Structure 1
């Protein structure tokens, strides 16, 4: 797959491991203190929600519908044109324009929605993409909020403000990095 996808998958797996570790640590601490001290504070509740949504996101990643590409002219299906090895430097859009990946009837415009001038994507894939993107963004926002409330709890308990400053420095650095990577991908993605 693409470099972006490998990073995406790796970071999501790292997030799942981190969230699972946090949940296990919290359960271990809760077990030592006894269940009578176990409450569903904002931090705890959001932690469980983030964990559940992360698992849902992983499941969505594994059940992704196949990307269907159908000629916008609704022509009859053709066999994909083999691309010689020396021409593999084409962009994904150029390669996709030479292939048809659909098992559906190409003359049925109701089964797909136009996503570009030359191609169509199935409605199922579009719904999946919308869910995957917004569940991911929701997880990101809730995870940051949960981490922030956890740090606030730590600061209240141990009267240490340094961790809060470190959190916002790291959050700013990560946000800036994600913004730069997004801009880079959008600017140079189609120029390969």
Structure 2
């Protein structure tokens, strides 16, 4: 068995898993989970790892350098959940490719692990976004969610869809046997 003989569900799941990883990786590593604007100008941005202040040309600095040695527990939780999700999202396409080429990795327990990892990654990102969003300053202050957060949400949706396709593929393979 190889890529050509894999089911359409598996091929689409692989594509979605790759896109989920790409979108979340960009969102995870960029500095625009939230943005502050004043008179239509971006004056500050915040990501998971850095904060940027453009109002006084200060540029971007790591949270550890910002002046507070203590990072909020909410941010630590968001970082942990998104990091675990990223690791799961790396594992899913690798597992799908392995199952296409190595018969040992086509066992039902391995397929269930793939489904679980894909769905868990998406759920972890959604929980992280909820935690992060609950800490955002209300939008009437000019601070709002930004594109990095949106990319991670798209990655979460694609990851959950990957899990769903793997479920469909497993049921299809089970019924054809």
* Length-normalised TM-score, structure 2: 0.48
Please identify which structure carries the higher strand content: 2
The structure having more radius of gyration, on CA atoms, is 1
* Length-normalised TM-score, structure 1: 0.45
